[in-house]
Structure 1
Amino acid sequence: TYTLMGHEFMGIVEEVGSAITNLKKGDRVVVPFPISCGKCFFCTHEASPACDSSNYKNYGPAGNVADQKGGALFGYTDLYGGYSGGQAQYVRVPYADISPRIVPEHLSDEKALFLTDIFPTGWSAIDWAQLKGGEVVAIFGSGPVGLMAQKAAWINGASRVIAIDPLDYRLAKAKAVNNVDILNPHHVDVVEAIREMTGGRGADVCVDAVGFEPERSLFDRLKATINFEKGSIKVLELCFEAVRRMGTVSIVGVYGSPYDNFPMYRIFDKGITIKQGQAPVLNYIDKLIELVNENKVVLDDIITHTLPLEDAAHGYKIFDEKEEDCVKVVLKP
């Protein structure tokens, strides 16, 4: 078996099923990455990533490592439904009357594309923290999702946005497109630097936009092997350290296994609020389309490479191996 990758895509409708009345051939649409039936308990309670109908293979309430998962996602393994993703000439979209949104005619593909995943995901991280205005937001990871969370933080009233990343070219991109403060953990003690910026308190909100695959030392890798862990929670631990007491940590980086020595003591002592998971794209997408349509946010300024679909493997390589200052690749069929 094989999986067609890609849960961030848009395209032109070529054919519609008999039950679809809100789309027609020729419509240009963006397609949110969670697959939602629109009718189940979760879909009708603003929790579409938990749809109990779309992932008919492995859905379950337990959230186990290897079997029971939530709703289906495009291009994201058999555990999440086994649906082919969008890095192809054609893609089948189930429940197509629920999620796809028609793109305003005057918007280019590049301006609209990231409404499918990374902008709603970055937006979720900030929305979960319920900013009142004036907060300091520290965002760990300046990859595509981190960059979008930075944009969302400004729009939602942050007074200061701090980007943390071990790669200088990513920090340069963050500074250039989002006008954020930048910290490189190779050059400074990030936690102490954030406290110095906030009167010793720590950031009001910390966002983990990295997940279980951070830059790691040999010791980190050996520890994970001994504990049967997938990757590391070192970035999450930094978030718990850098956030102020009674602050919020939003987790949009992916984690895939149990972790030894989880710092529950710090979370409890500091009274930290934690929110995490797949982004409920359908809760936000209509509002976010309007923000783009009204030029209140620019999304395509993070693109560093545009490649034909047949060069997808090269795109994966340069992103994975941190070559050519690659931040975000767009593939065109």
Structure 2
Amino acid sequence: MRAVTWQGREKLSVEDVPDPRIEEPTDAIVRVTSTAICGSDLHLYSVLGMYLDPGDVLGHETMGIVEEVGSAANRLKVGDRVVVPFGIACGTCWMCTRGLQSQCETTQVRAQDKGAALFGYTKLYGQVPGGQAEYLRVPQAQYGPVVVPAGGPDERYLYLSDVLPTAWQAVEYAAVPPGGSVVVVGLGPIGQMAARVARHRGAVRVIGLDLVPERLEMARRHGIEVLDVSVVDDVAGAVLDLTDGRGADGVIDAVGMEAHGSPGAALAQRAAGVLPDSVASAINEKVGVDRLMALLTALALVRRGGTVSISGVYGGAKDPLPMMELFDRQVTLRMGQANVRRWIDDLMPLVTDEADPLGVLDLRTHRLGLEDAPRGYDLFQKKQDGCIKVVLDPAARRSAASEAGEPR
């Protein structure tokens, strides 16, 4: 089959790789119909290469059709249309039964002292082949895959794999009171959906921050107040003016480790990227720092006694935080990988609603063939051609191969 493989820093190629097969009774094989590029995939593309090997298959936002089912995964049947959560969880361990599927004790990557295994996301999280491919082996299929209705475009359901649960959890963690205010820092895919979810859940004032015109315009279409940080001289002052002089009840950092405006950390990240993997990983795990501009902005914008919710991915071991200020202002921090299955029951009625209350059909800006994945990553990283969300479609190549009599 064909799959998107990492070959080096900012270097991808679509290669022939072995077909996945059932390895455990709890496995299933899914024929991929849509798979998206996530903002956290860009971290692998640019920053976290020391945890990848050439040939690793990327991708963790995937849906498709069940082709094979292991003997212990028989809640699924061949032909089911499923969305695959990006985290791999068993559903029955102590963590899973408490809604912390991202910390699943069955799939925890204990060798790296990390939480649940993730699809397509480095040695730190199990080095499980990802879903930017024609087929995907799904471990723990007795629990993980979410069966969705057969009708409608994939984009109605695809974001249940990551974007929507991550956004929902970000809003939940922000603890915005009824009628309260929330600021979303960064209007990429997660930020877009977090802003819409916050509005849907009753926040009266939802303010989105970004500097990319297309992102700002998309948020405006969905009733979000926006601040263009490239032209607003005093963002904190502007937010104070919009929130009765207090700051926002909750602030969501939807950016993470590669924020604009942190030149020193950016230089350190680039330097680590050219070191041997063993050296770079040791540095990152002991003294590494992130670009913290988005997080520092979030901390500055939250009111006293408010909550900052972090959904953007960070990877530094020694990130400095203004602890005196946070303590004095009684700020709560909440963060972590999304517990996807915990939020599915909340989200399913919204994505199946023909009225599309969260605007899931207005997020994807580019749908490309799987073979065009390197171009999709480049567009997404550089924010070119109005790119906000890229979805990859393996079907065109698969159809051509079938006509030629090639194996899958």
Band the TM-score falls in, shorter-chain normalisation? over 0.9
Identity of paired residues, percent?
45
1:57-101: CA deviation from partner (whole Å, max 9, x where unpaired): x326xxxxxx31111011111110111111100000001010111
User: 1:143 aligned to 2:188?
Assistant: yes
1:293 to 338, 352, 361: 352
**Paired residues for 1:21-32 under 5 Å:** 21-32=74-85
What secondary structure is seen at the aligned counterpart in 2 of 1:291? helix
1:169-204: CA deviation from partner (whole Å, max 9, x where unpaired): 21112112x211111222112111101111110011
What secondary structure is seen at the aligned counterpart in 2 of 1:44? helix
What secondary structure is seen at the aligned counterpart in 2 of 1:249? strand
Name structure 2 gaps, 5 residues minimum.
1-52, 273-282, 395-408
Structure with greater proportional strand content: 2
Are residues 309 and 175 of structure 1, via their aligned partners in 2, closer, same or farther at CA, if it must alter by over 3 Å? Answer: same
1:191-250: CA deviation from partner (whole Å, max 9, x where unpaired): 111011111100111000000101135455458779943431111111111000001100
1:16 to 57, 69, 79: 69
What secondary structure is seen at the aligned counterpart in 1 of 2:258? coil
What secondary structure is seen at the aligned counterpart in 2 of 1:30? strand
Are residues 205 and 97 of structure 1, via their aligned partners in 2, closer, same or farther at CA, if it must alter by over 3 Å? Answer: same
Aligned amino acid, residue 118 of structure 1: V
Aligned to 2:205: 160
Aligned to 1:205: 250
Q: Distance in 2 between matches of 1:34 and 1:206?
A: 25
Count of aligned pairs: 324
Aligned to 2:278: none
Are residues 217 and 274 of structure 1, via their aligned partners in 2, closer, same or farther at CA, if it must alter by over 3 Å? Answer: closer
Contact 1:131–1:156 under 8 Å retained in 2 = no
Give the stretch that moved more between structures: 196-205 or 227-236.
227-236
Determine which structure has more spread, i.e. the larger CA radius of gyration: 2
Q: Distance in 1 between matches of 2:192 and 2:290?
A: 22
**Paired residues for 1:1-333 under 5 Å:** 1=53, 2-55=55-108, 58-59=109-110, 67-176=112-221, 178-188=222-232, 189-216=234-261, 218-219=263-264, 221=266, 228-294=287-353, 295=355, 296-333=357-394
Aligned amino acid, residue 73 of structure 1: L
Give the stretch that moved more between structures: 220-229 or 96-105.
220-229
What secondary structure is seen at the aligned counterpart in 1 of 2:368? strand
Q: Distance in 2 between matches of 1:223 and 1:269?
A: 31
Query: Bigger relative contact order, structure 1 or 2, given CA contacts below 8 A and separation 6+?
Result: 2
Contact 2:176–2:182 under 8 Å retained in 1 = no
RMSD: 1.8
Structure 1 residue 156 displacement after superposition: 1.0
What secondary structure is seen at the aligned counterpart in 1 of 2:251? strand
Aligned amino acid, residue 179 of structure 1: G
Contact 1:33–1:74 under 8 Å retained in 2 = yes
Structure 1 residue 19 displacement after superposition: 1.1
Name structure 1 gaps, 5 residues minimum.
61-66
Aligned amino acid, residue 364 of structure 2: I
Q: Distance in 2 between matches of 1:24 and 1:223?
A: 49
Q: Distance in 1 between matches of 2:164 and 2:319?
A: 32
Contact 2:311–2:336 under 8 Å retained in 1 = yes
Give the stretch that moved more between structures: 163-172 or 138-147.
163-172
Structure 1 residue 287 displacement after superposition: 2.1
Q: Distance in 2 between matches of 1:231 and 1:272?
A: 21
Aligned amino acid, residue 156 of structure 1: R
What secondary structure is seen at the aligned counterpart in 1 of 2:216? helix
Q: Distance in 2 between matches of 1:39 and 1:322?
A: 41
Q: Distance in 1 between matches of 2:323 and 2:289?
A: 19
Q: Distance in 1 between matches of 2:379 and 2:289?
A: 23
| TM-score for the superposition, normalised by structure 2 | 0.76
What secondary structure is seen at the aligned counterpart in 1 of 2:383? coil
| TM-score for the superposition, normalised by structure 1 | 0.93
Contact 2:262–2:293 under 8 Å retained in 1 = no
Structure 1 residue 136 displacement after superposition: 0.9
Give the stretch that moved more between structures: 103-112 or 93-102.
103-112
